[in-house]
Amino acid sequence: MAQPAIRADEVTWTDSTCPVARTLDLIGDRWSLLIVRDAMDGARAFTDFQQRTGIARNILTDRLRRLVERGVLDRRTAPTGRRQLYTLTPAGRDLFTVIVALRQWGERHAFASDETHSVLVDELGRPLPELRLVGSNGEPADADTTSVRKDR
């Protein structure tokens, strides 16, 4: 079941008619995306996120609060009652393709060819193939074969 969208009066939008701008307004800062990345990799507690990212406590507190408010993470009290646990919502899980696209772009453009980096692998231990978009005709789609229609 889809979560309700963020209402236009709840956020100051950079460009209220552009889905890319709205997405970046919601989750586009570095720390938010790294928190989502780590949640996908099993981080659940505040200390998990802090240790994995090195983020300052005040910034982490703010980003976790915003990701919960914006429907990307759920927050629950741990069974011990002593800490909060964070899990991805369906909207948060939908960011997987975005995270993979950023990762693959980084593999191509942010590392020298001989530089080591982490690799995302599937359940068989094999690296994921490069993401490729296709149009409705099944042919490859890119910036030269698509355009934005502003009719909604």
Class of 17-94 per CATH? mainly alpha
Report the greatest alpha carbon distance in the chain. Answer: 54
The arithmetic mean of pLDDT across residues 114-137, rounded, is 95
Q: What is the pTM of this model?
A: 0.86
The arithmetic mean of pLDDT across residues 29-36, rounded, is 96
Residue 2 has pLDDT above 80, yes or no: no
Per cent of the chain over pLDDT 70 is 92
3-state secondary structure of 86: strand
pLDDT in tens, 60-102: 999 999 999 999 999 999 999 999 999 999 999 999 999 999 9
Read off the tokens for 92.
């948060």
pLDDT averaged over every residue in the chain:
91
Q: What pLDDT score was predicted for residue 8?
A: 54
Angle between helices 19-27 and 30-40 (to 10 degrees): 80
Spatial distance between the Cα atoms of 48 and 92, rounded to a whole number of angstroms: 18
Under a CB-based contact definition with an 8 Å cutoff, are residues 72 and 27 in contact? yes
- Domain spans of the chain, in order of start: 17-94
Residue 152 has pLDDT above 70, yes or no: no
